[in-house]
Amino acid sequence: MITPEYAQMMARYNHWQNDSLVKAASTLTDEDRWAERGAFWGSIGATFRHIYWADFLWLARFGVVEAPKITSFADAQAHIDWDEFVGQRRELDGVIRDWADGMTQGDIDGVLTYKSISYGELSNPKAPLIVHVFNHATHHRGQIHMMLTAAGAKPDDTDIPIMPQEYKEY
């Protein structure tokens, strides 16, 4: 279904887009970042935090990091200092890239059994779960892009073919 090279490309795209949207969001005030905007997670800040914690949880499920101490996604939506968040996001993007860079086909094949906050214990093939990690983030970044644009910020383009070279290098 997928290869390590797919995961590596998506990790780089993920990093580029997170950097791009964080840069655009940094032009807003903290009040603007946390203003209710009618999105699923409410605000730009809360949506960023949701992506961060979902990424963190998936990395924990794959055994890359230690599981975070949260009991629901609502716990992860609390307001946080923006500069602190930016540092955490950049660090986690590095962990995601390292995970993808070290991935083998054996890491992709097989089944992962894990606990879901919403659904209890689940077992699923790893390949679609890896796709989900990146697809989930892309979905919510699209919401952030829309909220940033509506707030007057100028996010960069999102197309993989124009990804800057510094993000493409493996």
> Residues near 81 by Cβ (< 8 Å), separated by ≥ 6?
none
Residue 21 CA to residue 59 CA, distance in Å, equals 21
* Binding site feature residues for a divalent metal cation: 50, 136, 140
The values of phi and psi at residue 88, to 5°, are -65, -40
Residue 42 CA to residue 47 CA, distance in Å, equals 7
How many Cα atoms occupy the beta-carbon half-sphere of 88 within 13 Å?
A: 14
Q: What share of the chain is helix, strand, coil (3-state, %, to 5)?
A: 60, 10, 30
User: What Å distances lie between residue 118 and 11, 121, 122, CA to CA?
Assistant: 26, 9, 10
- 91, amino acid identity: E
Element (H, E) at 56: helix 44-61
* Binding site feature residues: 50, 136, 140
